[in-house]
Structure 1
């Protein structure tokens, strides 16, 4: 294959699946807004269409990377940080299944099965390697949530939407307890280790996602009524959002890049969780917060999308073609 083709494949990282998460998350918010505030439904469906097209392009490129440049794909999979973004491929597929559900139940089921299988297989593979130890603490970032926590919560929500809440409850359990375990490791590293290097700081945006996405999942697989646990999860998500705002200048020492999409899924899930609660009859604090969070989610995703388009037009979207840093030691693989 031509060198230029190989370079393009190498420079489209799995982390770009985060774009799909942000777009699909915002589309879900607009669907809920149509239901509770009679907002235009066409806008949400249009955003889902863009998310689906983005997913199709990225999934095709990622599959081609394994076919045409398998050594480069393996290098990404063995990288101490970039590897975990591969799990977003399954999460993105599950979100596209949610988007497809009103149009084709059969397609939604097929995408759900594909996404769930990918999430489970990747989560087991990656977590099995992590359990062997030998990891550099400097490589410990919120990307560790991606293999099991993000996939489990989104799989649980999607299963419930397809009419299988009992399966969704199993996914909720796996994701929730994985979240608590990983968070303890991550906070210990952030409190006691060296500061995150600027290129890794945008990954802190992922920190907002687990409680927010967990609240959405709990509302989907449970009785559907916002109870004290939903309020507690949203409260913790709000705390994470405020902490990220407080750290914005420090995080912003990393110039804008596609990595800032890490903030979008948690932000849209936080808005969606409050709006779902309002839809279920919550007229208290969450009803007060929901419009503002919906507005902020739109502003955030819109600004990052605009910045990404500008990067693409100026040729600065893709990371530079360079050899990947050494992978963490893992021992024999199986």
Structure 2
């Protein structure tokens, strides 16, 4: 097996033409829904705790839902017209992990929708949960087949695993009698997979060749297990204890360290940049929740700065994505 390089996501798309085509719609673009939904929930929390941003949060949530519908229709069109391209992405050792962005998007949208429609929120959560557990099982099964290229152990590996934690993040208030045990199950699966995958990814990043520039933004995914873990843990157990504090603070530390590696001018814009959105959104939600619980002015300022940074970052990404779409570059080979 050739281990000289990490396969790029683009390599999964065997496109025979350079013209604009729905065939070139990347699965990782669903990361935009994750980021927007996470931003919506963060502004909703800001409104709940501090009376600022609630309406903005609802507007962003509606936008996240619209973007999901448009992307789902687009990817369905790709599946119907170019099933070989979808199979290539699904079987690719790196790109396949981004199918987890679809399931996480459904889970987050369930949290966005629930205050407005409990039926819709519950339906989205159940569908997202089933898909998330199925994808996690498939990923583990593939890895246990053996003969894996060690260079494929990249941050995107965490997406299907961490997705299970999002079940507990978004399902803590679901009214069904069976949800309490299912949330514990999801927390267990997500936590252990995150631990196992994180160790392998960190070893690869330390001992193997550096990631290609196009994959540098995905480094921010490394904070997700800690901040999503914080949210899942506190939702399931109903309190912020010392262990939860440790999760939050280490994720915050990693965010600062990784920011200097990720936000560089020599990394050009691509849909892969949306990989930064949900991890920072999880950090923002965690920071708001932690600051409110601790009633600390310093923590409140930190939470506000993270939320403003996230809002600015997603605004820039949205503008750049739309510009790329209308210029024809987004769907070009």
TM-score, length basis structure 1: 0.88
Tell me which of 138, 159, 166 is aligned to 1:125. Answer: 138
- The 8 Å contact of residues 127 and 147 in structure 1, kept in 2 or not, is answered as no
Inter-partner Cα distance in structure 2 for 1:64 and 1:85: 18
- The 8 Å contact of residues 169 and 231 in structure 2, kept in 1 or not, is answered as yes
SS at match of 1:247: helix
| Pairing 1:40-55 to 2, within 5 Å after superposition | 40-55=53-68
Give 1:7 deviation, angstroms.
6.0
Inter-partner Cα distance in structure 2 for 1:200 and 1:121: 26
Give 1:66 deviation, angstroms.
2.8
Inter-partner Cα distance in structure 2 for 1:83 and 1:59: 16
Which residue is 1:235 aligned to?
A: 249
C-alpha offsets along residues 274-319 of structure 1, whole Å, 9 cap, x if unaligned? Answer: 212234454375334222222222222222222222222332223x
Aligned length: 314
Which residue is 1:331 aligned to?
A: none
Tell me which of 57, 80, 92 is aligned to 1:79. Answer: 92
| Pairing 1:1-334 to 2, within 5 Å after superposition | 8-149=21-162, 151-163=163-175, 164-223=179-238, 225-248=239-262, 252-280=265-293, 282-283=295-296, 286-318=299-331, 320-321=332-333
**Uncovered stretches (5+) of structure 2, i.e. residues with no partner:** 1-15
**Uncovered stretches (5+) of structure 1, i.e. residues with no partner:** 322-334
- The 8 Å contact of residues 77 and 83 in structure 1, kept in 2 or not, is answered as yes
SS at match of 1:169: helix
Inter-partner Cα distance in structure 2 for 1:265 and 1:19: 8
- Give the RMSD, CA atoms, in angstroms: 2.0
Inter-partner Cα distance in structure 2 for 1:20 and 1:304: 12
Inter-partner Cα distance in structure 2 for 1:213 and 1:153: 7
TM-score, length basis structure 2: 0.88
Give 1:81 deviation, angstroms.
1.0
Show structure 1 runs of 4+ deviating over 4 A: none
Change (3 A) 1:83 1:185: same
